[in-house]
């Protein structure tokens, strides 16, 4: 799940002051293999002049659980070195990145720019479009120079202080709990970048303080992210309804609102930043219509219903996507009221003359 930092007094944890490091390792490295860097410190290609001037984002391999990688995704505020939002996720895809970005923007407002590498998720059309709509400049480091991304140095701190605990974890949920604890400790521990400050602020959260970036209207933020994400309620049978499709999510989430992410032929169903199910889909961007949903992949989560199934079904018997029949709406025929004549025109004339004749007789 997404963790956002909180501003409060520093804790007297067991970890000592955080120093300035020069880079982060690849996925094949672990805390036990760590060696001291011998290269000279390199200067960053930019200067950070104020809070929320630049944010930094990146994805780091953590550990493997049952043969699958778990990743650390974090957004760092450069001036204060505060980790604004972070998550341990089994996926390093666009929905995971947008969840994190939405959490950071909702809490802290907009920075002037966001720095990242050239990864596919950081160059995705939806990611870049959201940044430009919010007047946030996407900045990219030079190829093969990861040290230009300031968050790489903080990932080195994560490797030294937390990787051993990550490697001892047995489940993704435990890793997520440890990841949240690391962010809390990182933000409230004395940082080497602030040791010479004249105002005696030494921790990232102290330096960040109450300052927020450029304000953004929450409704506008929801509309921007709504191009790839929207909400649906799970029915009592565990399905959600999207246009003409009933799509299986999770019966344990009956009557709960889940997030739907659609991008690049993928449909994700998530609850509290946890992936519940993944499908392939065909989506017509011009007509905003879902054309096809197939290839379901369901995930075991803590939200699964404890109720046992009465009848166990295999994959061929268990229909996870149902499509409603297409019914063309027929126009209602509205009949206009029409005043009908009581009698014909000829009969009316005879009655008129008869009444006149009676009047003449009466006068005589």
pTM given for the model: 0.65
Closest CA to 225 of 263, 253, 258: 263
Give the residues across from 60 on adjacent strands.
Answer: 72
Alpha helix stretches (DSSP H) within 59-150? 94-108, 125-133
For the chain, the residue count is 364
- Interaxial angle between packed helices 94-108 and 218-225, expressed in degrees from 0 to 180 and rounded to the nearest 10: 170
Q: What are the boundaries of each domain within the chain?
A: 3-208, 228-323
pLDDT at residue 104, as a whole number = 93
| CB neighbour class for 211 (10 Å; exposed up to 12, middle 13-18, buried from 19) | middle
CB burial of 269-281 (b: ≥16 within 10 Å; e: otherwise) equals bbbebbbbbbbeb
Strands (DSSP E) along the chain, which ranges? 3-4, 54-65, 68-77, 82-89, 113-116, 137-140, 229-233, 239-242, 245-248, 257-263, 266-271, 274-284, 289-298, 321-323
pLDDT at residue 361, as a whole number = 54
Query: pLDDT means per 10 residues in the chain (364 residues)?
Result: 52 38 44 50 82 96 90 95 91 86 93 95 93 96 91 90 91 89 94 91 95 92 80 92 93 90 80 86 80 90 78 74 72 54 54 60 56
pLDDT at residue 181, as a whole number = 93
User: Residue 326, SS3?
Assistant: coil
pLDDT at residue 363, as a whole number = 58
* Spatial separation of the C-alpha atoms in residues 36 and 19, rounded to whole Å: 13
Largest CA distance in the chain: 137
The superfamily CATH assigns to domain 3-208 is: Ribonuclease H-like superfamily/Ribonuclease H (3.30.420.10)
Mention every residue, 6+ apart, whose C-beta is less than 8 A from residue 319.
Answer: none
* Spatial separation of the C-alpha atoms in residues 181 and 5, rounded to whole Å: 11
Contact assessment for residue 8 and residue 205, using Cβ atoms and an 8 Å cutoff:
yes
């Amino acid at each position: 799940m997404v963790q956002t930092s909180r501003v409060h007094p520093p804790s007297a944890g067991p970890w000592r002051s955080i120093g300035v490091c020069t880079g982060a390792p690849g996925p094949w490295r672990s805390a036990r293999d760590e060696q001291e860097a011998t290269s000279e410190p390199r200067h960053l290609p930019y200067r950070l002049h104020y809070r929320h001037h630049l944010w930094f984002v990146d994805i780091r391999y953590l550990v493997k659980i049952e043969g699958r990688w778990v990743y650390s995704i974090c957004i760092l505020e450069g001036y204060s070195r505060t980790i604004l939002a972070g998550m341990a996720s089994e996926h390093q895809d666009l929905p995971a990145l947008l969840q994190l970005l939405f959490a950071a923007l909702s809490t802290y407002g907009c920075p002037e720019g966001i720095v990242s590498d050239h990864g596919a998720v950081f160059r995705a059309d939806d990611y870049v479009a959201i940044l430009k709509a919010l007047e946030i400049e996407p900045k990219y480091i030079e190829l093969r120079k990861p040290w230009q991304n300031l968050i790489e140095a903080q990932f080195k701190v994560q490797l030294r202080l937390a990787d051993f605990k990550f490697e001892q974890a047995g489940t993704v949920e435990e890793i997520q709990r440890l990841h949240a604890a690391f962010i809390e400790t990182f933000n409230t521990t004395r940082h080497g970048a602030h040791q010479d400050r004249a105002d005696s602020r030494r921790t990232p959260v102290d330096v960040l303080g109450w300052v927020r970036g450029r304000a953004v209207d929450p409704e506008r933020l929801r509309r921007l992210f709504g191009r790839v994400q929207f909400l649906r309620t799970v029915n009592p049978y565990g399905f959600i309804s999207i246009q003409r499709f009933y799509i299986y999510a999770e019966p344990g989430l009956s009557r709960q609102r889940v997030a739907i992410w659609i991008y690049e032929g993928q449909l994700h169903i998530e609850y509290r930043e946890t992936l519940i199910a993944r499908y392939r889909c065909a989506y017509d961007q011009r007509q905003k219509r879902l054309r096809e949903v197939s290839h379901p992949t369901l995930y075991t989560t803590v939200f699964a219903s404890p109720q046992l199934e009465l009848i166990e079904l295999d994959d061929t018997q268990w229909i996870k996507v149902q499509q409603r029949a297409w019914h063309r709406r027929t126009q209602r025929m509205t009949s206009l009221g029409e005043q009908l004549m009581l009698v014909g025109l000829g009969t009316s004339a005879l009655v008129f003359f008869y009444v006149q004749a009676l009047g003449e007789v009466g006068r005589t």
